[in-house]
Amino acid sequence: MFPRETIQAGPVTLRPPVEADIPAVVRACSDPLTQRFITTLPSPYTAEHAHIWLTEVAEARWGAGGAEFVVADPGTGELNGMLGLHLPDRFGNVEVGYWVAPWARDKGVATAALRALATWAFEHGVPRLHLVAEMENVGSQKVALAAGFRHEGLRRGAGPLPGGGRADMAMFGRLPGDSGEPIRPFLPFLPPGGLTDGVVTLTMLTGDDAPAYQAVASLPDVVKYRVPPEAPPFEETLYRCAGAGYRWLVGVQAEMAIRDAVTGAFAGDIQLSHLTPPMREAMVGYSLHSDFRGRGLVTRAVELLAEWAFTQTSMRRLISGTNPGNLASQAVLERAGFTRGQTVKEYLPGPDGTWTDNVEWLRLR
């Protein structure tokens, strides 16, 4: 059983909840983002729900070996969030859950509170802490890494979605022996507004890009050079676009929209895949809608991306590959400063079960 005590941790104080917290709990739990990602909250959330949570749920949790803390402002004691330890599972593993009130977000509150709670939990003998955040909850995933929790994978269909259905949940874990230092992603996010040269702008893909991405990915001459050479089902495209932030953060793939810098229209996509941190290498791939071709937009996109990768990240090798027959793509890479390498035999899946050679390309930092 954990002691019901107050933890002073610099910019945050963790304390057991009290009756006076109820109005703030109602306001915070009525917030759309809280409702979106804490899918077990009643909606609408009323003072009665907060009262039951305080007098029954939180009490039961403390009584049964869990913990429920208010994250409070150290000066005023006002509620800024909530942070709890669920009951240990049969192997003693403990799950952490939290939310921060809308008025206290983006100030490091969740990160500071989670770090403090992890230290305290390990001091009280917890052998392992983990948290699960929905694939689309990139803010929470950033908190996990910043608090020294390591990404451990994606649990498919592991959580409920509001309104029905199931969501994939990203798993993060921390052990007592871990340093607890913030875990820095291999690739930082793009600056606000993306990368631009005034003609094209690159922005991280989001779920809103899915219809336009699908239109590009379904063009016959794009399908021909896709791996595998098939148009994706729309469900797959939606999943790809909506999960781009997660995959970027955890170092799987960095996927961007190529936009017309003036109108913001989606012109195509460009991505860094096969991220290989020890070699500081990534593979560039792209496709452009036929309506936007012939204006040098992809070359600009590759140049922008290479410039960012070589100045703002630790990347030192950008590689690419083209079908030997894809002369347009080869011209893009040449203009963007890539050097043609060897041709690898039967590397790419072609149509009808055939295999196609691949021309390798390299640009060094």
Ligand X SMILES: CC(C)(COP(=O)(O)OP(=O)(O)OC[C@H]1O[C@@H](n2cnc3c(N)ncnc32)[C@H](O)[C@@H]1OP(=O)(O)O)[C@@H](O)C(=O)NCCC(=O)NCCS
* CB closer to ligand X, 203 vs 322: 203
Question: Taking CB under 6 A as the rule, which mask of x and - marks residues 243-272 in contact with ligand X?
Answer: --x---------------------------
Choose one: 100-108, 152-160, 306-314, 345-353; the region binding ligand X (CB under 6 A). 100-108
As a whole number of angstroms, the distance between CA 284 and CA 307 comes to 13
Q: Is 137 in the site for ligand X (CB under 6 A)?
A: yes
| CB of 273 vs ligand X, minimal distance in Å | 20
Number of residues that bind ligand X (CB under 6 A): 22
Question: Which residue of 13, 140, 330, 358 would you call a contact of ligand X, by CB under 6 A?
Answer: 140
Question: What is the C-alpha separation between 84 and 52, in angstroms, rounded?
Answer: 16
Contacts (Cβ under 8 Å, ≥6 apart) of 295: none
C-alpha 190/C-alpha 337 separation (Å) is 22
Amino acid, res. 113: A
Which among 317, 332, 221 is positioned nearest to 275, based on CA atoms?
Answer: 317
Stretch that binds ligand X, among 32-40, 259-267, 321-329, 357-365 (CB under 6 A): 32-40
Quickly tell me which residue has 């070359």 as its tokens.
Answer: 299
- Angle between helix 109-123 and 138-146 (nearest 10): 50
* Smallest gap from residue 37 Cβ to ligand X (A): 3
- 247/233 Cα distance (integer angstroms): 20
What is the nearest approach in angstroms of ligand X to the Cβ of residue 84? 11
Q: Specify the residue for token string 């993060």.
A: 172
Candidate segments 52-60, 133-141, 274-282, 331-339, binder of ligand X by CB under 6 A: 133-141
Binding mask 63-92 for ligand X (x = CB under 6 A): ------------------------------
Q: Measure the CA–CA gap between 78 and 83, rounded to whole angstroms.
A: 14
- DSSP-derived letter for residue 37 is H
CA distances 17 to 20, 51, 365, Å, are: 8, 11, 53
Q: How far is CA 110 from CA 26, 200, 228, in A?
A: 19, 36, 41
**Of 163-222, which residues contact ligand X (CB under 6 A)?**
none
Among 142, 247, 259, 363, binds ligand X (CB under 6 A): 142
Interface with ligand X (CB under 6 A), residue from 62, 99, 246, 248: 99
Q: Is 110 a binder of ligand X (CB under 6 A)?
A: yes
Q: Which of 26/33 has CB closer to ligand X? A: 33
Supply 131's token pair: 């948290």
Distance CA 193, CA 33 (A): 22
Looking at the Cβ atoms of 117 and 283, the one nearer to ligand X is 117
Element (H, E) at 34: helix 32-37
Interface with ligand X (CB under 6 A), residue from 58, 94, 109, 359: 109
Q: Give the separation between CA 326 and CA 350, rounded to whole angstroms.
A: 13
Options 4, 107, 184, 316; binder of ligand X; rule CB under 6 A: 107
Region binding ligand X by CB under 6 A among candidate stretches 136-144, 148-156, 229-237, 300-308: 136-144
Applying CB under 6 A, the residues found at the interface with ligand X are 33-34, 37-38, 98-100, 105-111, 133, 137-140, 142-143, 245
